[in-house]
């Protein structure tokens, strides 16, 4: 082959640039449109289908429009500039489209269809230009070159757009940047002579082309199913983030380019490709389990490296998805070789796009709801086999022999090694091999519910917990040992403290219904908005926890996107409560933006409040971004304590003034769910302790930019830290970061009862708050009372380990009778606990009981170097009057390098005082 003309090199560069922009537009437009018009299934599906259909339509029209390629590139750039201008100048105009109800779908289709058609013209048109300037004029070679180059350019651009451009420039500026490239391509193409559009006769038999195109259509439909399948696998293992779409898209594009090159080199026909591809894809699916374990093996180690987790993630997704992408991507080049007609590439891309549309719709409307992961994997392989069988109908089909023979054993291997149980977990469970094995071992039962493209798993564990996993994200633990999640009840009730009226409430993200159920008991009318039909389907499973939400009078359930619903709704609410999944879940992060907060404010009645939540998983940087964004939209915010790392923020447009609830008028069912008899506090007493009114959210100086629709900094941050494990050395709490005053009372001008507050923190948050631990260490007189309260609460609510921990703290605080009674009660349940045995000896000795030699000898033999044992022996020796022995045991503790216990100095002082008297004492 002779050297290619310089003009071809120029065309190749332009094809790469155009391809990079074209697919990057798909990423940007789909993200922007779903942000404004809604992430609900029907909106997202309509936008995706319009892109697929539009690209196909542009392809089939490309032969007629090829001479105007420069105009189409120009139009693509100008359209993007116009769209960017709307985002900057009038972003509310897009929200205004949602107000037209289902017309939002039509607008979404129209806004995405136009650029999709323009983009679809590129590949066939550029191939015609290249054919014109190739020395040998081979149309098939021209198409393959352009197809490969176009998709290679798209791979780099999609990844750059996802991981750098958007995160640094924002959506509007990114669109403007791409538009600039398109305009430059348009100017360059204008200077190149347009191709001559002479159409040669079709060389292959018409029947061969007909059956071949039917096979491409079916293979493309199977590809649509496969792409949804791969996205769900990736979301389960790596977490539900927007970037998954970009990574999967980049792998698919790379597969198209490599598949095209492979077909060209090996000279495979479409029939050979499909038969071999079915076997290879089955083998590839058989290796998925190994790749998941490989990810678990390396993920923990690379999480701390710059881009380490991202590189490892892209590598694993490539290992899982590249081979099928090569098979699906090579179908068009494999068939195009049999027909060098200049119209053929565009027609085949049109057929493929229609197949993708049909496959995607079939996947989300039928297949996804009815088949397991393993069954879908087998269905994809069988779909390729069916497509291969269609090619057998073509005249003159020759036997393929061994190329068919590998399909059956490959499918057998797939059926044997595939494990659906592996994908029953949350993505955090795949970080670390030990964590993965531990999580798999803890699962007792999994109930899977799927509706359209969403999935909800109810996971029962050996610990008696019921966990809710939504699209790979563990949303919450709905109940523990049959008890309703108390934190979620507080989230729903606390906002009722603030508005002057309780007529209407809006709950965004119904989930299990626990929060919405609590809210609905206190407001006349409550509207719950849930985006996932699958979540709605399982809502009835939690009726014992959500106070029978679906049957509750005054409750209305709406299936919609929260942003879209508010943009469409004119109702004023006394409270709007955001209880959607964490910002770690990509669809939820937009509910933490300034654009959304401003939308919320327009729907709050006089004195109304907005409540939202986050936890320490958002990182300090993320929390600061949330505080800054809240600060720009609201005048005052209070914090509600939920746990040391989990908080609810309640904000309003003016100074907040909470009012205590009247316990006598609260619904009995709500009181029962709060278990006030076991808490030892009424609901109003509990909430009074949990409200933290003084903080720096509204008045602090937060060194961060606000989170916005255009620049969703929080979403990008969440995807970058999602796989990092918490570092105990960097432990922090939202309350310390916000500068919350733990002694301020929201309902009076005086200080709060710190004993009651610490107890409420412990009862709701499951763990002692660090500041309360510090008060214990300071010997504050309220501490023993706090510990006694916790001990009584744990008698019915806590585990044996928690009760033992409190008994140890009571002993250190000097409440020996209480500590001893707890230890004696625990003895039948913890017969092998050395710590419990040592505690019993210490409390008895300190209370004046004489310990037998045999009991002391047994304790010594069980743990001669155990610090708790040595302390027990020291107290027993001192009780007997053997101060020297007591001091000797303390010396062993010092030699062991054991951290000092608060009672060590008391013990040492008593032993020193008693030394030489030889008398028995009660220290």
For the ranges 207-211, 629-633, 787-791, the maximum mean pLDDT occurs at 629-633
* Mean of pLDDT over the chain: 85
Quickly state the pLDDT bin for 409 (edges 50, 70, 90): very high
H-run or E-run covering 781: none
pTM exceeds 0.75 for this model: yes
Q: What per-residue confidence (pLDDT) applies to 399?
A: 57
Per the listing, tokens 């750039």 go with 77
The token pair that represents 193 in the structure block: 């002579």
Task: Give 335-390 as a DSSP string.
Answer: HHTT---TTHHHHHHHHHHHHHHHHHHHIIIIIHHH--HHHHHHHHHHHHHHHHHH
Which is nearest to 56 in space by CA: 11, 131, 113? Answer: 113
Gap between the Cα atoms of 412 and 219, Å rounded: 21
pLDDT digits (tens, 9 = 90+) for 289-312: 999 999 999 887 776 676 788 888
The arithmetic mean of pLDDT across residues 251-258, rounded, is: 91
H-run or E-run covering 311: helix 308-329
Q: What per-residue confidence (pLDDT) applies to 75?
A: 92
> What share of the chain has pLDDT > 90, as a percent?
39
The arithmetic mean of pLDDT across residues 745-759, rounded, is: 88
Residue 298, SS3 per DSSP: helix
Gap between the Cα atoms of 567 and 588, Å rounded: 16
656 within 8 A of 498, measured Cβ to Cβ: yes
The arithmetic mean of pLDDT across residues 391-415, rounded, is: 75
pLDDT at residue 762 tops 70: yes
Collect contacts of 872-877 with beta carbons under 8 A, ≥24 apart: 872/837, 872/838, 872/839, 872/841, 872/842, 872/845, 873/841, 874/907, 874/911, 875/841, 875/842, 875/845, 875/846, 875/907, 875/923, 876/841, 876/842, 876/845, 876/851
Quickly state the pLDDT bin for 282 (edges 50, 70, 90): very high
Gap between the Cα atoms of 559 and 565, Å rounded: 9
Give CA separation, 672 vs 476, 544, 675, 892, in Å: 21, 12, 5, 52
Which is nearest to 591 in space by CA: 433, 434, 707, 752? Answer: 707
Is residue 814 exposed (0-12), middle (13-18) or buried (19+ Cβ within 10 Å)?
middle
**More confident of the two residues 91 and 315:** 315
pLDDT digits (tens, 9 = 90+) for 119-173: 888 888 888 887 777 655 455 677 777 888 888 888 888 889 888 999 899 999 9
Q: What per-residue confidence (pLDDT) applies to 899?
A: 66
316 beta partners: none
pLDDT digits (tens, 9 = 90+) for 646-680: 999 999 999 999 999 999 999 999 999 898 878 88
The token pair that represents 561 in the structure block: 């996107």
DSSP state, residue 467: E
Provide the terminal-to-terminal Cα distance of the chain, rounded to the nearest Å. Answer: 101
pLDDT at residue 506 tops 50: yes
Quickly state the pLDDT bin for 802 (edges 50, 70, 90): confident
The token pair that represents 340 in the structure block: 């060098």
Sheet containing 691-692: give its strands across: 555-559, 525-530, 504-508, 573-578, 604-615, 646-652, 636-643, 691-692
Quickly state the pLDDT bin for 769 (edges 50, 70, 90): confident
DSSP state, residue 400: -
**More confident of the two residues 444 and 922:** 444
Size (the chain), residues: 923
Q: What per-residue confidence (pLDDT) applies to 173?
A: 94
Backbone region of residue 66 per phi and psi (left: phi > 0; alpha: psi in -120 to 50; beta: other values): alpha
Q: What per-residue confidence (pLDDT) applies to 689?
A: 94
DSSP state, residue 705: P
Q: What per-residue confidence (pLDDT) applies to 271?
A: 86
Degrees to nearest 5, angle at CA 796 with 795 and 799 = 75
Q: What per-residue confidence (pLDDT) applies to 319?
A: 95
Q: What per-residue confidence (pLDDT) applies to 290?
A: 94
Half-sphere exposure of 207 (CA within 13 A, CB side): 7
pLDDT at residue 471 tops 50: yes
The arithmetic mean of pLDDT across residues 382-395, rounded, is: 85
pLDDT at residue 475 tops 70: yes
Quickly state the pLDDT bin for 923 (edges 50, 70, 90): very low
pLDDT digits (tens, 9 = 90+) for 15-54: 888 877 888 888 888 888 888 887 777 777 888 888 889 8
Interhelix angle 713-721/166-190, nearest 10 degrees: 110
Quickly state the pLDDT bin for 1 (edges 50, 70, 90): very low
pLDDT at residue 541 tops 60: yes
**More confident of the two residues 649 and 459:** 649
pLDDT at residue 202 tops 80: no
Q: What per-residue confidence (pLDDT) applies to 453?
A: 84
pLDDT digits (tens, 9 = 90+) for 560-605: 888 888 988 889 999 999 999 888 787 788 999 999 999 999 999 9
Q: What per-residue confidence (pLDDT) applies to 4?
A: 46
Gap between the Cα atoms of 582 and 584, Å rounded: 5
Give CA separation, 820 vs 300, 590, 876, in Å: 43, 53, 15
The token pair that represents 828 in the structure block: 């039948």
pLDDT at residue 776 tops 70: no
Per the listing, tokens 């049909």 go with 358
Spell out the residues 6+ positions from residue 158 whose beta carbon is closer than 8 angstroms to its own. 20, 23, 24, 27, 246, 249, 250, 253
pLDDT digits (tens, 9 = 90+) for 54-65: 888 988 888 888
pLDDT digits (tens, 9 = 90+) for 319-369: 999 999 999 999 988 886 655 555 777 888 899 999 999 999 999 899 999
Q: What per-residue confidence (pLDDT) applies to 918?
A: 47
**Positive/negative CA dihedral, 239, 245, 250, 255:** positive
Q: What per-residue confidence (pLDDT) applies to 916?
A: 58
DSSP state, residue 581: S
For the ranges 104-113, 395-404, 447-456, the maximum mean pLDDT occurs at 447-456
The arithmetic mean of pLDDT across residues 488-514, rounded, is: 96
The token pair that represents 815 in the structure block: 């409440």
204 within 8 A of 340, measured Cβ to Cβ: no
The token pair that represents 753 in the structure block: 């009862």
Q: What per-residue confidence (pLDDT) applies to 920?
A: 46
Given the DSSP bridges, would you call strands 573-578 and 504-508 parallel, antiparallel or unpaired?
parallel
Spell out the residues 6+ positions from residue 923 whose beta carbon is closer than 8 angstroms to its own. 846, 875, 878, 879, 906, 907, 910
The arithmetic mean of pLDDT across residues 71-85, rounded, is: 92
Per the listing, tokens 């490296």 go with 305
Quickly state the pLDDT bin for 265 (edges 50, 70, 90): confident
Q: What per-residue confidence (pLDDT) applies to 921?
A: 44
807 within 8 A of 825, measured Cβ to Cβ: no
Given the DSSP bridges, would you call strands 454-461 and 443-451 parallel, antiparallel or unpaired?
antiparallel
The token pair that represents 674 in the structure block: 């709060």
């Amino acid at each position: 082959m002779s050297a290619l003309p310089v003009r071809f090199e120029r065309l190749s560069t332009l094809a790469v640039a155009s391809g990079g922009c074209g697919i990057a537009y798909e990423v940007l437009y789909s993200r922007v449109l779903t942000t404004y018009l809604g992430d609900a299934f029907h909106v997202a599906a309509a936008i995706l289908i319009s892109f697929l259909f539009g690209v196909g339509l542009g392809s089939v029209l490309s032969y007629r429009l090829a001479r105007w390629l420069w105009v189409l590139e120009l139009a693509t750039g100008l359209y993007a500039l116009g769209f960017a201008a709307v985002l900057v100048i009038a972003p509310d105009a897009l929200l205004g489209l949602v107000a037209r109800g289902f017309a939002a779908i039509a607008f979404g289709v129209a806004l995405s269809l136009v650029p999709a058609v323009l983009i679809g013209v590129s590949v066939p048109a550029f191939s015609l230009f290249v054919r014109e300037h190739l020395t040998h004029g081979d149309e098939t070679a021209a198409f393959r070159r352009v197809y490969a180059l176009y998709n290679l350019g798209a791979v780099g651009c999609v990844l750059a757009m996802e991981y750098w451009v958007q995160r640094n420039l924002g959506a509007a500026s990114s669109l403007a940047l791409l538009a600039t490239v398109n305009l430059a391509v348009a100017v360059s193409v204008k200077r190149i002579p347009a191709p001559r559009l002479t159409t040669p006769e079709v060389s292959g038999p018409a029947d061969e082309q007909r059956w071949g195109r039917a096979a491409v259509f079916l293979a493309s439909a199977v590809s649509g199913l496969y792409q949804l399948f791969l996205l769900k696998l990736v979301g389960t293992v790596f977490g539900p983030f927007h970037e998954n779409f970009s990574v999967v898209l980049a792998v698919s594009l790379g597969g198209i380019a490599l598949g095209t090159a492979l077909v060209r080199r090996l000279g495979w026909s479409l029939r050979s490709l499909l038969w071999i591809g079915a076997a290879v894809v089955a083998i590839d699916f058989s290796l998925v389990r190994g790749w998941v374990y490989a990810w678990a093996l390396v993920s923990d180690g690379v999480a701390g490296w710059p881009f380490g987790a991202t590189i490892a993630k892209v590598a694993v997704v490539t290992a899982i998805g590249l081979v099928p992408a090569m098979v699906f991507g090579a179908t068009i080049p494999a068939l195009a070789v049999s027909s060098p007609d200049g119209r053929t590439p565009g027609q085949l891309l049109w057929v493929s796009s229609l197949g993708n549309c049909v496959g995607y719709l079939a996947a989300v409307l039928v297949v996804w709801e009815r088949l397991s992961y393993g069954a879908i994997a087998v269905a994809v392989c069988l779909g390729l086999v069916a497509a291969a069988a269609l090619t057998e109908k073509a005249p003159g089909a020759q036997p393929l022999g061994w190329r068919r023979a590998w399909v059956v054993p490959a499918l057998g291997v797939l059926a044997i090694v595939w494990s659906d149980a592996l994908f029953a977990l949350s993505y955090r469970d795949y970080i670390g091999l030990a964590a993965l094995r531990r999580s798999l071992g803890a699962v007792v039962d999994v109930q899977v519910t799927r509706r359209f493209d969403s999935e909800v798993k109810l996971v029962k564990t050996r610990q008696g917990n019921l966990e809710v996993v939504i699209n790979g994200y563990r949303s919450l633990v709905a109940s523990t040992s049959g008890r309703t999640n108390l934190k979620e009840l507080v989230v729903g009730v606390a906002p009722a403290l603030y508005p002057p009226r309780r007529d209407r409430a809006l709950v965004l993200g119904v989930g299990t219904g626990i929060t919405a159920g609590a809210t609905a008991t206190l407001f006349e009318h409550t509207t719950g908005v849930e985006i996932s039909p699958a979540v709605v389907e399982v809502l009835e499973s939690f009726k014992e926890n959500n106070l029978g939400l679906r049957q509750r009078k005054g409750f209305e359930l709406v299936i919609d996107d929260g942003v879209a619903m508010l943009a469409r709704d004119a109702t004023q609410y006394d409270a709007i409560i955001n209880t959607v999944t964490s910002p770690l879940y990509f669809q939820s992060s937009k509910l933490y933006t300034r654009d959304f907060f401003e939308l919320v404010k327009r729907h709050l009645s006089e004195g109304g409040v907005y409540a939202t939540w986050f936890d320490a998983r958002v990182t300090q940087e993320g929390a600061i971004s949330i505080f800054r964004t809240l600060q720009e939209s609201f005048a005052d915010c209070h914090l509600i304590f939920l746990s040391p790392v989990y908080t609810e923020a309640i904000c309003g447009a003016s100074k907040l003034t909470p009012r205590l609830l009247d316990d006598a008028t609260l619904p009995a069912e709500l009181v029962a769910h709060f278990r006030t008899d076991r808490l030892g506090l009424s609901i109003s007493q509990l909430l009074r302790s949990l409200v933290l009114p003084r903080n720096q959210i509204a008045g602090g100086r937060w060194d961060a930019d606000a989170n916005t629709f255009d620049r969703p900094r929080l979403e990008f941050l969440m995807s970058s830290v999602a796989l990092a494990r918490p570092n105990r050395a960097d432990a922090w709490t939202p309350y310390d970061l916000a500068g919350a005053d733990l002694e301020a009372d929201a309902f009076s001008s005086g200080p709060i009862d710190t004993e009651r507050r610490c107890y409420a923190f412990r009862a709701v948050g499951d763990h002692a708050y660090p500041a309360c631990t510090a008060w214990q260490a300071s010997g504050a007189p309220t501490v023993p009372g706090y510990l006694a309260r916790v001990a009584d609460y744990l008698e019915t609510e806590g585990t044996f380990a928690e009760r033992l921990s409190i008994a140890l703290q009571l002993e250190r605080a000097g409440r020996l009778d209480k500590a001893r009674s707890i230890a004696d009660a625990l003895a039948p349940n913890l017969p092998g606990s050395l710590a419990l045995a040592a505690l019993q000896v210490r409390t008895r000795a300190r209370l004046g009981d004489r310990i037998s030699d045999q009991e002391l000898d047994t304790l010594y033999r069980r743990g001669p170097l155990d610090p708790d044992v040595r302390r027990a022996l020291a107290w027993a020796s001192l009780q007997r009057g053997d101060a020297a022995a007591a001091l000797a045991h303390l010396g062993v503790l010092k030699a062991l390098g054991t951290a000092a216990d608060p009672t060590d100095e008391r013990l040492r002082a008593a032993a020193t005082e008693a030394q030489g008297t030889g008398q028995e004492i009660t220290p």
